[in-house]
Amino acid sequence: MDVIRWCFFFFLLLQTFFFSPSHTQTDSFTSILISQNGLDFVKNLLVNKAIASIIPLQIPRIEKSVRIPFLGGIDVVVSNLTIYELDVASSYVNLGETGVVIVASGTTCNLSMNWHYSYATWLPPMEISDQGIASVQVEGMEIGLSLGLLSSEGGLKLSLSECGCHVKDISIELEGGASWFYQGMVNAFKDQIGASVETTISNKLTEGVSDLDSFLQSLPKEIPVDDKAALNVTFTSDPILRDSSITFEIDGLFTKTETNQVLKSSSFRKSAAPSAICPGNSKMLGISLDEAVFNSAAALYYNAEFMQWVVDKIPDQALLNTARWRFIIPQLYRKYPNQDMNLNISLSSPPLVKISEQYVGANVNADLVINVLEADQVIPVACISLVIRGSGALRVMGNNLGGSVRLEDFSMSLEWSNIGNLHLHLLQTASSSIPSCSQ
């Protein structure tokens, strides 16, 4: 059922998410928690979309023979019995140790049907018949589902533990023919019509759960990010069910797209301080990402030689000319006067991300090679090793994600030079004056 598949994605893509260090099990680096508000939102959406997808719902025809004094046996047929309207007064979702329970109560539905009867007389020998239409109203109907949700081979397996539908009351109003005369006769079909409604709705729900299980089994185990990386989204354990929330544990690390090879989980250590996901009373969804997720991405792109940049255009283009550096690096200007430059920046190791409840930190080691552009030649003149340590904080403001970034430490050391020694302390002083920024 398309509506059920669509609703499943809302479990994973509701409004607002928070980042915090993960506290999950050994092979899980990302947790997704759906709060009671999120469950109610999805439940309401699911109920409304499910109703729209099953209406109109056809009920099998019913045939019955009744005996009426002075007339004898009469054959009555109810056909084209169709539910054309369904209204749910209230519904709720509960979580237990073994699964999810969804109950819709106070449900009413309206049906239309054709009725026909016939009987034969022996004096004179002839067949008498009549037919018409009728409207049926079902009131006080309760529908319940009990679902089991387990992890299976990296995916989710949905099972139907119980499914039931109970009809409390039915009223039938006939139209056409001598309907006033046969009203009591057709009322004898109440129990059969009620049982048929219960069976048909239960079968439709069972079919929908089976379709959803097939869909969950077919979900991809990784999500492509680009031509180099994909995100491993295999489920590592059974969902964790609590009184008012459900938590999904997934691997969450980055994989190599070209070889479909997952970076070994043992290469990344989980953050030491555990922290529960607390999306707040008004939030629907909370997401917890361990720092290993970011470090796996950093290691993957570093190994793919993706973290290399050539800087040849900047807002103040005059900075990429030796004349602008004649007082800080005078020997560079004397050897290559008024020559354009570019900067070749490459990371010497994968960035290391650290996450705590207060901030996000990163350590970056990089090599900066100064190149002079002379005619059609690129001449490397010096290489400076950089060690950068920064921190930042993330915060959610309404529907926007904001934060701040601060440079905590910045150091330089000369790896090699073709123009003699460099006064790195001058560069160090200028770079250390970079202010923190926020957004």
Residue 142 confidence (pLDDT)? 92
Distances (CA, A) of 137 to 47, 81, 170, 171: 20, 12, 6, 5
Helix axis angle for 2-12 and 190-217, nearest 10°, is 50
In terms of Cβ atoms closer than 10 Å to its own Cβ (0-12, 13-18, 19+), residue 272 is exposed
> Structure pTM?
0.69
Which tokens in the block code for residue 97? 């140790």
Residue among 86, 1, 32, 13 at smallest CA distance from 288? 32
Helix axis angle for 36-54 and 2-12, nearest 10°, is 170
Each of the 439 residues of the chain gets a pLDDT tens digit; together they read 443 333 333 333 332 233 334 444 446 788 889 888 888 888 888 788 778 878 888 888 888 776 666 556 677 788 898 999 988 889 888 887 778 888 999 899 999 988 887 776 665 666 777 788 888 888 889 999 898 888 888 888 989 888 889 998 888 887 765 555 566 666 777 888 888 889 988 888 888 888 888 888 888 888 888 888 888 888 988 888 888 888 999 888 888 875 445 444 445 555 554 445 555 556 788 888 888 888 888 888 888 888 889 999 988 888 899 998 888 889 999 999 999 999 999 999 998 888 877 778 889 999 999 999 988 899 999 999 999 888 887 776 666 767 777 888 888 899 999 998 887 877 766 555 444 444 4
| Domains within the chain, CATH numbers bracketed | 24-36+221-297 (no CATH), 55-218 (3.15.10.10), 307-432 (3.15.20.10)
Residue 181 confidence (pLDDT)? 57
Residue 268 confidence (pLDDT)? 53
Contact 275, 288 (CB under 8 A): yes
Distances (CA, A) of 349 to 90, 186, 267, 367, 417: 58, 82, 14, 10, 22
Residue 72 confidence (pLDDT)? 60
| DSSP label at residue 266 | G
Beta strands in 264-417 (DSSP E): 285-289, 308-311, 340-347, 352-355, 360-374, 377-397, 400-417
Helices (H), 274-314: 291-303
Residue 416 confidence (pLDDT)? 93
Element (H, E) at 190: helix 190-217
* Cis? peptide before 350, omega within 30° of 0: no
